[in-house]
Structure 1
Amino acid sequence: MVSFILLVLTGLPLKFSNLGISQWWVGIWGGLEVTRATHSFAAWMMAAVCLYHAGYLIYTILVLKRPFPVKIVPGLQDVFQVIEEIAYYLGIRKQKPLVDRFNWKEKFDYWAIFWGMPVMFISGFILMYPVFITSFLPGSVVPTALVAHSDEAMLALVWIVLVHVFFNHFTPSHFPINTSIFTGKVDREKYREEHALEYERMFNAGKPETEVKP
């Protein structure tokens, strides 16, 4: 979260550098070089977090033999879940669809961000080291990377603000904020309501916790 906020605060004035407010904001940061350096630092920070996340998934699946990360992969059941949820909100169904570890919105949210990371990292690396890159690739890769990086960044920002934040913090069950972002835990009753299938599997197996990790 810290790296994302830093990237937004330093990336937007670089993208819209012709605006007066951007020039003022760059001055607040201490100038163009400081703004660029902060942006690069935040980018490496996010890259490190993504590598840690990938390593955690591999370790959890292959070493700990815990299957839950695989459940984030979309499947046919998610298509049925979307249909059933639409039917519920239209009044056709009386009950919301029962959800396992991840619902379809969480999966869609995860993969929407995940697929954009390689685009951001590769294009950002090219922009960070253009002289090195153009020593073995044509110079046209630099403006191409600039367009890809800039547009993907705006898409990610819009997605995070309008979709991710809304579904995770502004829905009636979580408003005004979902505290699991800080605690790493979910209230037991809320988990039973939102992830009924996994709740039944966990607590029928005799787990005594009053709170569960998301």
Structure 2
Amino acid sequence: MEVRQDVQARTAASRRWEALTQLLRFSPAQRAAHFLVSLSGMLLLITGLPITFSDQLRWVIDLMGGSVVTMLIHRMCGLILAFSLAFFGTYFLLERITEGRRDSNLTFTLGFFIQLGKDMAQDMLWTFGLVKERPVSGKYDWVMVADIMSVPTFCLVEVITGAIMWFPFPLLQANPGLFFVFRVIHVAVAIFAIFFVFAHATILHFTPGNFPINMGIFSGLIPKHKAEGEFPAWIPVAKKLEVPEEHYTFHPIGYVVGAIACGIMGLTAYVVYLLREEGLAGFRLLQESGAAFVALNGVILVFIVYVILTFYGISKALSKSRA
């Protein structure tokens, strides 16, 4: 009886893991860049939003030990983000110069961007059932190219404006209105980042096909059968590996989590509508709003979950690589 149970247990365990053809999608440098930028970015939002929305998110500041500690963490994460941008930006340029594009379809030509626009239009039409086929994508589709180009740009704006407010030069000290301008830019980009992160998380992680987390950016691999449906033009040039992969279990709860995330995004859009200027303090919520309270606290909680999942993803990828 015990032998039979042992055999059944081994069989069940073997079914969880299958030798699948995997494609190498992200290099170690790309995975490290994603980890540092996403983690520092999430912590910047968690520590920065309570400054603008202090009435709704005061508990975050109190939990971290007060405004001084919160600002210290905020600035340290800003330094990590600045280092990541400088290091990996230089790495990307040197890699392109020495090794070329390799399996990437990302170029900086006019024709490439025109094709991206066509792909975006076709993808939208396909989403609403107006055309039968999706655009055929290489390694990066139009959404990912938008991510790749927008994230460094917005991070650079935040680093520059944050550094200026941290170390105001004489002209800024003599003209408080300029400080207000930089602060408005800093806050506006941070609020835009809320929508970006939620869209990114909902599309790539909080979906039934990936929930609770898409391991591709952590392991660097994607199953070939999955890539065939998402990036068919990339498969012929992708590096193939035969590695054991845990059998994925479909999670319908991903629909629920995605719907909740979309609801929080909708409420957050309403919060933006409620923002008003308060002198040199910048934009603030000058009126009580239950919807704003729910939205902003929902945003912070989702970001905290995102940070936890980031550590979960990187630890799981590291444990599998050592096995």
Q: TM-score, normalised by structure 2?
A: 0.56
Q: Is the 8 A contact 2:81 2:159 kept in 1?
A: no
Higher mean alpha-carbon deviation, 85-94 vs 54-63, is at 85-94
Partner of 2:220: 184
For the pair 1:37 / 2:72, whether they are aligned, the reply is yes
Residue by residue over 1:140-176, the C-alpha shift from the partner in whole angstroms, topping out at 9 and shown as x without a partner, is 3222111111111111122211x21122113454333
Query: What letter is aligned with 2:79?
Result: W
Query: What letter is aligned with 1:195?
Result: F
Partner of 1:12: 49
Please report how far the alpha carbon of residue 208 of structure 1 lies from its aligned counterpart in structure 2 after TM superposition.
4.3
Partner of 2:183: 146
Higher mean alpha-carbon deviation, 145-154 vs 89-98, is at 89-98
Pick closer, same or farther for the CA change 1:106–1:208 going to 2, 3 Å: closer
For the pair 1:84 / 2:122, whether they are aligned, the reply is yes
Q: Is the 8 A contact 1:72 1:102 kept in 2?
A: no
Please report how far the alpha carbon of residue 85 of structure 1 lies from its aligned counterpart in structure 2 after TM superposition.
2.3
Q: Is the 8 A contact 1:101 1:195 kept in 2?
A: yes
3-state DSSP of counterpart to 2:95 = helix
Equivalences for residues 144-183 of structure 1 within 5 A: 144-161=181-198, 163-183=199-219
Partner of 2:19: none
Equivalences for residues 28-107 of structure 1 within 5 A: 28-67=63-102, 71=106, 73=108, 75-107=113-145
Higher strand share: 2
Pick closer, same or farther for the CA change 1:72–1:34 going to 2, 3 Å: farther
Please report how far the alpha carbon of residue 68 of structure 1 lies from its aligned counterpart in structure 2 after TM superposition.
5.1
The structure, 1 or 2, with the larger RCO (C-alpha pairs under 8 Å, 6+ apart) is 2
Higher mean alpha-carbon deviation, 56-65 vs 81-90, is at 81-90
Please report how far the alpha carbon of residue 20 of structure 1 lies from its aligned counterpart in structure 2 after TM superposition.
6.0
Pick closer, same or farther for the CA change 1:208–1:153 going to 2, 3 Å: closer
Q: Distance in 1 between matches of 2:118 and 2:56?
A: 50
Unaligned runs of 5+ in 1: none
Q: Is the 8 A contact 2:81 2:155 kept in 1?
A: no
Highest CA radius of gyration, 1 or 2? Answer: 2
Q: Distance in 2 between matches of 1:42 and 1:187?
A: 34
Q: TM-score, normalised by structure 1?
A: 0.82
Residue by residue over 1:43-66, the C-alpha shift from the partner in whole angstroms, topping out at 9 and shown as x without a partner, is 011111111221121121112233
Pick closer, same or farther for the CA change 1:122–1:208 going to 2, 3 Å: closer
Overall identity of the aligned pairs, in %: 24
* Count of matched residue positions in the alignment of Structure 1 and Structure 2: 202
Unaligned runs of 5+ in 2: 1-37, 244-323
Query: What letter is aligned with 1:194?
Result: E
Partner of 2:40: 3
Query: What letter is aligned with 1:156?
Result: A
Query: What letter is aligned with 2:204?
Result: N
Residue by residue over 1:168-194, the C-alpha shift from the partner in whole angstroms, topping out at 9 and shown as x without a partner, is 113454333211132122112112221
Q: Is the 8 A contact 2:105 2:140 kept in 1?
A: no
3-state DSSP of counterpart to 1:209 = strand
Residue by residue over 1:83-139, the C-alpha shift from the partner in whole angstroms, topping out at 9 and shown as x without a partner, is 332343344543322111110111122323232123211110111112xx1268753
Pick closer, same or farther for the CA change 1:108–1:137 going to 2, 3 Å: same
Query: What letter is aligned with 1:102?
Result: Y
